[in-house]
């Protein structure tokens, strides 16, 4: 696995996650190469015999244990999403960064290509997101879902010369961290992400994937406070090559 390092010091590592790789190990990833496999090898992380794999909130849970069981990986990105991903190099850094995520002080910026002409040019989508009872792999806007908010800004419009469809190149600022939040929110406002096989519709995503074999969603920037120095750090991940190449199929709308 070829991983580009965007930032590194004694406590923190920020990598440019490539699309196509699951972040954390699970029962379903036993035969797959994951970011956690790479992280454990790069950071030389081994689970101490005294560690207990308790979940957050359970009796006996210790936050530093999660560092070892998650290979130092502080948060997640979808398998098909590329971009900035934070890893902690020590248990203490892991605990500090996880706390920042829980307090929502870490700021993330994503870029996406969405179907249609998204209006207004700036706005927010604030609807609850939850796992669909009839499809465990998908999420949606459902009663009892978790509070979710995404602020967005349209950067430019493209036109697909073959179909004449307008596409919106959008910057997104999630204010919460729900699974598939951005993908679900853009679908909710009828502007699903280009090549999104779960939320753009089967026929649409099949056509999209003739031009792009992954979801057009990229974690472009992340800002956090250093766990030791407390200094504010912002790390940017350049647009993945396959996304940049996809954009070349379209013309910018004047």
Q: Is 78 a catalytic residue?
A: yes
What string of DSSP letters covers the chain? ---EEEEE-SSEEEEEEPTT--SS--GGGTTS--HHHHHHHHHT----TT---PPTTSTT--HHHHHHHTTTB-S---TT-EEEEEEESSHHHHHHHHHHHHTT-SEEEEEEEEES--SSSEEEEE--EEEETTEEEEEEE-TTPBP-EEEEEEEEEEE-TTT--EEEEEEEEESS--TTHHHHHHHHTT-PBTT-TTTS-HHHHHHHTTT-SS--EEEEEEEEE-TTT--EEEEE-PPPHHHHHHHTTSEE--
Of 65, 78, 196, 208, the active-site residue reads 78
Residues classed as catalytic: 78
């Amino acid at each position: 696995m070829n991983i580009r390092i965007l930032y590194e010091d004694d406590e923190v590592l920020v990598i440019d996650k490539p699309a196509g790789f699951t972040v954390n190990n699970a029962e379903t990833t036993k035969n797959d190469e994951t970011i956690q496999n790479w992280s454990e090898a790069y950071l030389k992380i081994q689970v101490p015999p005294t560690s207990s794999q308790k979940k957050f909130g359970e009796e006996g849970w210790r936050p530093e244990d999660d560092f070892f069981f998650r290979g130092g990986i502080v948060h997640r990105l979808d398998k098909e999403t590329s971009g900035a991903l934070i890893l902690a190099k020590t248990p203490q850094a892991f605990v500090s960064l996880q706390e920042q995520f829980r307090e929502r002080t870490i700021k993330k910026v994503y870029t996406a290509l969405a179907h249609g002409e998204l209006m207004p040019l700036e706005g927010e989508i604030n609807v609850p997101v939850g796992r669909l009872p009839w499809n465990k792999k998908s999420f949606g806007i459902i009663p009892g879902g978790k509070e979710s908010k995404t602020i967005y800004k349209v950067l430019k419009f493209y036109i697909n010369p073959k179909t004449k469809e307008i596409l919106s190149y959008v910057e997104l600022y999630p204010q919460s961290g729900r699974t598939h939040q951005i993908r679900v929110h853009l679908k909710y406002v009828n502007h699903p992400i280009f090549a999104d096989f779960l939320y753009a519709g089967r026929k649409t995503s099949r056509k999209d994937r003739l031009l792009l074999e992954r979801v057009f969603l990229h974690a472009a920037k992340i800002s956090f406070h250093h766990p030791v120095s407390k200094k504010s750090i912002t790390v940017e991940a350049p647009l993945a090559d396959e996304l940049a190449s996809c954009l070349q199929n379209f013309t910018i709308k004047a």
